[in-house]
Structure 1
Amino acid sequence: MTLLVFGQAGQVATELQLQAEVTALPRAAADLSDPDACAAAIVAARPTAVINAAAYTAVDRAEDEESLALRINGAAPGAMARACADLGVPMVHISTDYVFDGSGDAPWQPDDRTAPLNAYGRTKLAGEEAIRASGCVHAILRTSWVFSPHGSNFVRTMMRLSETRTDLSIVDDQIGGPTPAASIAGACLILAQALRDGAGGGTYHHAGAPVVSWASLARATFELAGREVAVTGIPTAAYPTPARRPLNSRLDCSSISRDFGIAPPDWRAALSDMVNELTS
């Protein structure tokens, strides 16, 4: 299988390159703000499967740059999917828990009603809808709270802050499943192969277990790193941001486990490995 990956330096794209033989396209080769260029890259490469691991992920900045985020997160995946449909090539696309409004406390099912709270979520939902409308064989993989030793993420931020801070106030009422980028990459590879082998695809959820709050994830990080940082849990209302965040980011992952044997990863083991890597 010849895999073409959009994204090169991001967390999941980095893990894909570590786990498999892929052609990973940097921004210079396929700028997602130019959807036509993304489609042309697929036509030129003639891969057997496409994985889109690139996105506009600056959640707060997207409130002021929604048109740019929409080109990258909405129009570009749609253009990729139409090119895949023309070539008969399957596509795996990474999406987000932010397509939901975060109400209640039940885990979100893949077919639950979407209602994004912010511009980032709206643009990611637009990408999902464009892929579904394209007619290509696809798997949309929604995930949450991605972390890895690479790139920018919450755990790396906590590790950096722990070098100079002895106490932190962190949101404690947003609940979700921290997800190792390596596990997302592995799921994408399984899905790509399954689609090539004739699986029907659809929309799936893949997130880490057990669910926790951001404050609890920070405490776990500091404990593993041996950093003495006191964490005070605060409500989201006490930490206002330009973009509203969902309080409930729990994702039901039973369908991907049933259809492809992909179980939710235990984020605690991956966090331990990551902290060891960053502190060794």
Structure 2
Amino acid sequence: MRAKDIRAKAGEEPVTMLTAYDAPTARIVDEAGTDVVLVGDSMGNLRLGHDSTLPVTVDEMASATAAVARVVEDAFVLADMPFLSFGADEAAAIENCGRMVKEAGADGVKLECGPHTVDLTRRLTQLGVPVQAHLGLTPQHENETGLFRQGTEEETAQEILDLAREHEDAGAFSLVLEHVPANLGAAVTDAIDIPTIGIGAGPDCDGQVLTVDEVVGLTEGAAPFSKRFGDVRGEMERAVGDYLDAVESGEFPADEHSYVEDELDDLY
């Protein structure tokens, strides 16, 4: 899967996108037929024990992206650029984004966007780094905007629409819209020719993305715009509890889990 393949899906067929943060999960997500595997900075919350995405480093993102890229065969692998890895200095941003492609094996990068990322998107695209833009709720700005629905007023909705057009013109191959009104998601989708991928942005986007942890039911709960499609957390709790019971009762390990070497009998 290449950026042009994702771009060609706009208005034609839904784009499927899921996060993955490690090789075993990425293999499952890829083999299921997912179009885009995002190594999200949500790993800060879901894997690294942080309260937000902000502490995630470039090194951590590169390591996780490399693990995912090693096992994915068909999906497009996106590295989610972490907080302050771009936006301050263009040369540093290009180096950080380029590292995800050259060293970690990503197929492209995702940027949480604003007016400051239009020129960067254009430059990265010129250099051969595919860019997925991200508008609406951008968690890296939580200290400024909070983690609330965005684009709920005419002025802010127009800003999102304008930025969507600007990032399309700059070369972005797709656009994530997070936690915006469904009618705004539909309006942006109609206004641009690259695929929109919604997360809490309504059913009219060209595709959808969720964290894999919520999809499989690994988290304790799910966001109001998300859905649990499994109960991995419950299954893990059951399996761990059964293991502890088996060890404490002496049931495990049983004879079939052990190996005896007859030649060592003289040691006893």
Q: Same fold (TM over 0.5)?
A: no
The structure, 1 or 2, with the larger RCO (C-alpha pairs under 8 Å, 6+ apart) is 1
| Alignment TM class, shorter chain as reference | 0.3 to 0.5
Determine which structure has more spread, i.e. the larger CA radius of gyration. Answer: 2
| TM-score, length-scaled by structure 2 | 0.33
